[in-house]
Amino acid sequence: MGTVYLHIGVFKTGSSTLQAFFAQNIEKLKSLGMTYPVVGSVASAKVGLITAGNAASLAHALLPCNHQAHKPDPRQSQLEWFEETLKTSQTPDILLSSEFLCDLEADAFATLNAIAKKSGRTLKVVAWVREQASYVESIYIQHVKRRRITEMPTPYIKALYPTLQHLKYHTFLSALSETLGLESVSVIEYGKSDVIGDMLDILGLEDKGFDRPSKKINVSLPYFLVPIFLELNKLDPNMSFSDQVVRNQAQLQLHETPERRSLLAPELRTEIRQYFEAENKALSKAFFGGTKIFEATPPEYISIEEASRELDAIAVTKLLGGIAIQHERRLVRVERAILALGKKLDFEPNWVRKIPTN
């Protein structure tokens, strides 16, 4: 009997790094008796791009219809894909990953469990949990970077955190345990150790002979860039532009050390911790043997105003100059492609110059 491992995130707990790792080690995993199905954006993950995992389509189809990430892929066709994948797999174990799975309701997991049992396999869920105040701050930075928000941290986070139901970890994971059995739910505290090493331990695999992602995946914004993004977002930039800004700052090494401070005001951090206090105590008792969790010392607070003073004119010039250069290179590539196409189609010489510009 084999196992179907569902890595469900949650969000902001190293999922993109794990998905890149899985994608880069498909053959190695297969040689050890585990299939990581090549579907969706696995090719992108293999080269270190941000993805939602090989189970993203499955998750999107099974999400509640009122969920913002629900997509109209026929639920039945995705379940048939899941069943066929299990039926035709050449290995006993199968690994599926998507952080969107953490927002599925219990009946969806029950359905997946029934299909797994039909194939003679056990369904096991793997979830990382992150201290909620740290989580919502990271989500805020992500939304600044990729959702073009323009709000300051405190009002945005204050409105956001009560709406994130999966942050009620005990409520969610205990319901999942009732559906699958406690022994089928593995929970790890994020930030205490290496996510790849932890995952290999859960899979029962020795950390030897695997390729690891050579670069950071889903790089966060350094705090001195947040004020710039809040202003740029008022211009409604494309996501590719935002990603280019992040890549440029990493390439120019404008911020070489990990950020150890926080944009979360101390009083808001306390409010969030109190809001989830009972949940976290129950989580500790149910999944960590009563060991205290989320006990890290709160980082030093830095305001947006203070962060904005850390970026000087030279750094801004390097950053935005790099973007201009990248866009110029993209235009050159587009022009060359158009000229090559025109030549292939036997257009007359200098045809591009004859196109009206007004």
The whole-number pLDDT of residue 56 equals 93
Q: Is the pLDDT of residue 4 over 90?
A: yes
Q: Is the pLDDT of residue 328 over 90?
A: no
Nearest to 98 by CA among 151, 41, 26: 41
Least confident of 9-18, 42-51, 98-107: 42-51
The whole-number pLDDT of residue 333 equals 87
For the purposes of burial, counting CB atoms within 10 Å of the CB of 201, is it exposed (0-12), middle (13-18) or buried (19 or more)? middle
What is the chain's mean pLDDT, rounded?
88
Domains and CATH numbers, the chain: 2-130+190-203 (3.40.50)
Residue 57: count other Cβ atoms within 10 Å of its Cβ: 20
pTM, full prediction: 0.84
* Coil, strand or helix at 47: coil
Nearest to 280 by CA among 295, 261, 269: 295
Give 261-298 pLDDT, tens digit per residue. Answer: 999 999 999 999 999 999 999 999 999 999 999 988 88
Strand duo 261-262 + 121-129: pairing: unpaired
Residue 66 DSSP label: T
What helix, strand, coil percent values describe the chain, rounded to 5?
Answer: 55, 10, 35
Note whether 231 and 313 are within 8 A (CB).
Answer: no
Give 202-222 pLDDT, tens digit per residue. Answer: 999 999 999 998 766 666 778
Rounded Cα–Cα distance for residues 36 and 23 (Å): 8
The whole-number pLDDT of residue 209 equals 94
Note whether 1 and 120 are within 8 A (CB).
Answer: yes
Max distance between CA atoms of the chain, in angstroms, equals 77
